[in-house]
Each structure stands twice: as C-alpha cells, then as structure tokens.
Amino acid sequence: MGSGDKNYVMAKTSGELEQEFITNARELTGKSLEEWLKIVGASGIDKRNDILEWLKKEQGLNHMQAQFVAGIFMNNGQPVYINENALLDQQFVKCKEIRPLFESISARIMSSFEGIQLIPKKTYVSFTAKREFVAINVKPGEIRLGLDLGEEPYTDRLQKSRLTGPMPRISHMVVLKDMEAFDAQLTQWITDSYHRTHKK
C-alpha cells in the first residue's frame, strides 16, 4: 500500500524544532538561549502565557521562538520536548509500513497553517495551534485523523471519533489509507477544525 507521495518530506516534531532553535538561537534572534533566559528572568514575569506574549510584543520574537524560550524558562532551563522522537517512533512499532503515509499527511498539515506544533503523545500524535485541532492514531494499514468539528453531522466518511487518547473535543474522524484521500473536502474539514481553535 503506497503513501501516494514516494518522496515524502518528514514533518519535524516540536522536539526537533526546539533543538534547532537551541542550536541556532543567536543566528535567528541575535541572542543565545542563555541570554534570552536571563532576560526573561530579569523581567520578573513568572507566568508562561505572560512571558510568551511579552517576548512577542516587546522583544520581537515570533510565536514559535517565544514558545520555546518561555517553555524552557518555565522548565528550569531544560528542553521541554526532549523525549518526543522516541514517543513518535513508538507509534510505528507494529505498523512501520504506514509511516510514509503519516509523514506525508503531517507535512501537508504543517505546511498549511501557521503556529502549529506536532506533539507526539503516548497513544496518539497531536497537532496543536492555540489548542489541539488534529489528532492522529496510527493503525496497521490506515491513519485515523481526528478533528474538532463540534456539531457537524456524521457521514459515512466523516465518522464519529474512535481515537484513543485525545480530549473529547476531537469529535470526528476520517480514515486514510493513501494520500488520494487527502482531498479538498478533507482539507476544508481540517481548516474548519483549525479555525475552531481560534474562536474566542
């Protein structure tokens, strides 16, 4: 069973992106991570979301950079996502053949929206903006892609979620066995789910 994309591009996990930021912080922002941690400490701000907004509005960091600095500061200077790669690999122990499809789906989602994190959990993979808007269960021969679509009616394709792990707000799911199923309709459902996470 093919993925539909032979030369798939692996989507980077938050752990990989965090490590890239730690390594390249000075080049990206003009200051090293250690300098940013000292600046945050000197600010006297002690809540993660307040630090995040302050770094963006007052220090000029983009959302992802601010998120890493704030997260590492609140984690006593240690990387937050250090164990994520192992968690992601664990998802495919019994179904390695489906990983190319997962990577193609992930790359498509990650390239379509801003401010997204791919966060492997123990039993599923989370795609998070302000909150989780896509969740994926990896199964032999298929990907179950969960969405936050509220009261959207169920259909033969847009089914009631049977995912293991996510919060109840992941209400619907679509089963994919190849990338041909990642069509305009699925793209719209993912977009709708993303926008629901940004409602006030």
Assign residue 110 the CATH number of its domain.
3.30.1460
Last residue of a domain, one of 74, 94, 113: 74
Domain count, the chain: 2
Judgement on whether residues 150 and 129 belong to the same structural domain of the protein: yes
DSSP the chain: ---S-TT--PPPPHHHHHHHHHHHHHHHHSS-HHHHHHHHHHHT--SHHHHHHHHHHTT---HHHHHHHHHHHHTTTS-SSTTHHHHHHHTTTT-GGGHHHHHHHHHHHHHHSSS-EEEE-SSSEEEESSSEEEEEEEETTEEEEEE--TTPPP-SSSEEP--SSS-TT--EEEEESSGGGS-HHHHHHHHHHHHHTT--
pLDDT of the residue at 127: 94
Task: Single out the residue in 46, 74, 102 at which a domain terminates.
Answer: 74
Q: Which pLDDT score is estimated for 6?
A: 43
Which tens digit of pLDDT belongs to each residue from 102-138?
999 999 999 898 878 888 888 999 999 888 999 999 9
Q: What does pTM read for this prediction?
A: 0.66
User: What is the pLDDT at residue 8?
Assistant: 42
| Residues of the domain holding 64 | 14-74
Q: What is the pLDDT of residue 121?
A: 86
**Assigned domain for 3 exists:** no
Using pLDDT thresholds of 50, 70 and 90, give the confidence band for residue 200. Answer: low
185 and 96 in a common domain: yes
